[in-house]
Amino acid sequence: MSSLPTPTARRLTKPSWKDTRLLIGVLLVLLSVVIGAPAFRAADDRVGVWAANAPLTPGESIDESDLKRVDVQLGDGSATYLRSDRELPEGAVVDRELRAGELLPSSAVVSPLELDVQRVPVRVDPVSLSNLTKGSRVTVLAPAAPAPSAERRRSDERPTYEVVARRVTVYALPKSSGGVMGTGSGSAAILVVPKDLVAELLSLDDKDRPIKLVIEAGSPEKKD
């Protein structure tokens, strides 16, 4: 019986730059880089815009220390917000309340001369301040005007309250003392109100008949 032929071993050789398969592989890698780079750039079209560092109230002046840069990807919608690579207008104020972290719309930054609101200190029932914080939106209630002396109710009856204004923003609250905010005769809170309500609110500032503030649904509240 004749023996089977022994196969000859082939030596491995290093690939050469002249190897067609190697050249094709290199070209494919280069092609993927050339095509992929613009695609990645197009996908990451984020822009830097300003956001509030802390709650801001209408009429409050702002500078860069009150803001933080946030990179967002909103497409054409990013033009709605104030870009962080642009300088803030000198003496800029905001004309609406903004929560901490909320993006700053370009339309919210105005000159103080354009504001239609003012800050008013008003004596408030301390009980109604317990869950309020700067930026809270409240409904302002005031005791109804007392009836003429001949028709006055008994002194032990509680007064009725009337709505004076809605969606009023709290700018500042009285500082607490010994865990109690203010006294029984009322504590001064600063509210941001339309200019046409200023005179009316000031006329209600009565230490014996403090107004009440009722927080509105969805408004920022004091955290425990």
> What CA–CA distance (Å, rounded) separates 68 from 86?
13
* DSSP for 36-95, written as a single string: HHHHHHHH---EEEEEESS-B-TT-B--GGGEEEEEE--GGGGGGB-BTTSPPPTT-EES
Query: What are the per-10-residue average pLDDT scores of the chain (224 residues)?
Result: 58 60 72 64 72 91 90 81 86 89 91 87 88 91 70 62 91 64 62 90 81 90 78
Amino acid at 172: A
Q: What is the pLDDT of residue 79?
A: 82
